[in-house]
Amino acid sequence: MHLEKINFPNANLEKFGWNSFFASQQTAGIAGRVASVDREGFVVWTEAGEVYCEASGALRNAAALWPAVGDWVMLREDGPVIEKVLERSTKLSRKRPERDMREQVLAANIDVLFIVSGLDRDYNPRRLERYLVMARESGARPVILLNKADLAEEMGLNLDEVVSATRAIAGEAKVLPMSARIEQGIDAIEAELKPGETAAMIGSSGVGKSTILNRLLGSERQQTQSVRDGDNRGRHTTTTRELFLMPGGWLLIDMPGIREIQLWAAADGLDDSFEDIRELAASCRFRDCSHKGEPGCAVENAGLDEARLENYKKMQRELAHLERKANPVLAKETRAKWNATEKSVRKNDKRNR
């Protein structure tokens, strides 16, 4: 098999994020990590170098896992073919755009998800809530980056107020104000990761993701990225999501150009993100309360932010619709689970009164 030389000094799998979880699943062949995906194939980093691969026939035909950026895979010994995708520790998913009722894994095996928002016209708490649901469903730890802090004043925003309003919706997720332009807060991003850990970065176009990536890579951009001087396959087509090895020894998956963020099977993520509302809803007097002015409605009386409540309901409707269409069995289970938790919370609530 022809391996391109990677310009990483002393490359080993641990440097790319390999650990005992993946080692325990290793089978015959060569282990590697998917560094980018394009229409025709996959760039995979192995200990011996970088190789451009295709997926095996078995992967194409079966309901097996399809490789996504960040995945650990086993390659055939004798050719650039991915035979198997190892079980993921985490996965960031969305519903495929348009009418397609299928899951799309945007990134696999990430420890931290940086959700980037610009403190300009982009700032939108409802969109942040949606990203937080996605992140919590993924299993990765969300961290919100409020970029373009240098513009806040000009935009008529009080930075402290925006930061505390964002913290109020972020729950346990960290909120880091920063400015890639004036290089403020870059250290705080780096402090979130240990060597060998993987982060991904998501946010609307124009929020500053590439600028942040360049700041993080600093002057090492040339040295940390692979040099492909062989056949150059894979470089002609634009790769959408790409893994980078950072100077601090951690890895970052850049995800530019994600326009639609429709949820995929994110009932747990939604529950985790809106625990306050869910618990209030459970203590309502009526099972089918629409929380719209019914007498004694716990949600209405709690003085919640109406837009936040609306956003919760909207995502709940979206998930219910998706599950009805895509997976009726799962839809039934989710409804049963929601009903059961609401019932038990209601019981506890009565006991505590």
The nearest distance, CB 182 to ligand GDP, in angstroms, is 7
Residues 6+ apart with CB under 8 A from 15: 8, 195, 196, 245, 249
The nearest distance, CB 178 to ligand GDP, in angstroms, is 7
Residues 6+ apart with CB under 8 A from 195: 15, 248, 249, 250
The nearest distance, CB 153 to ligand GDP, in angstroms, is 11
**Residue among 151 and 320 whose Cβ is closer to ligand GDP:** 151
The nearest distance, CB 54 to ligand GDP, in angstroms, is 29
Query: Which residue is it, tokens 């003085």?
Result: 303
C-alpha dist (Å) from residue 250 to 18, 122, 204, 287: 12, 28, 23, 48
**Residue among 26 and 210 whose Cβ is closer to ligand GDP:** 210
Residues 6+ apart with CB under 8 A from 27: 74, 84
For ligand GDP, the nearest residue by Cβ is 208
The nearest distance, CB 41 to ligand GDP, in angstroms, is 25
Q: How many beta carbons lie within 10 A of that of residue 341, not counting itself?
A: 14
Amino acid letter at 129?
E
**Residue among 150 and 294 whose Cβ is closer to ligand GDP:** 150
Please report, as ranges, the residues that interact with ligand GDP according to CB under 6 A: 147-148, 150-151, 179-181, 203, 205-211, 256
Contact 349, 282 (CB under 8 A): yes
The nearest distance, CB 189 to ligand GDP, in angstroms, is 12
The nearest distance, CB 207 to ligand GDP, in angstroms, is 4
**Residue among 166 and 179 whose Cβ is closer to ligand GDP:** 179
Which of 20, 42, 30, 16 has the alpha carbon at shortest distance from 89?
Answer: 20
**Residue among 65 and 186 whose Cβ is closer to ligand GDP:** 186
Sequential DSSP letters for 103-159? EEEEEES-SEEEEEEETTTT--HHHHHHHHHHHHHHTSEEEEEEE-GGGTTTTT--H
**Residue among 44 and 201 whose Cβ is closer to ligand GDP:** 201
Stated length of the chain: 353
Q: What angle do CA 46, 222, 88 make, to 5 degrees?
A: 35
Q: How many beta carbons lie within 10 A of that of residue 218, not counting itself?
A: 12
**Residue among 117 and 198 whose Cβ is closer to ligand GDP:** 117
The nearest distance, CB 40 to ligand GDP, in angstroms, is 25
**Residue among 65 and 151 whose Cβ is closer to ligand GDP:** 151
Contact 74, 27 (CB under 8 A): yes
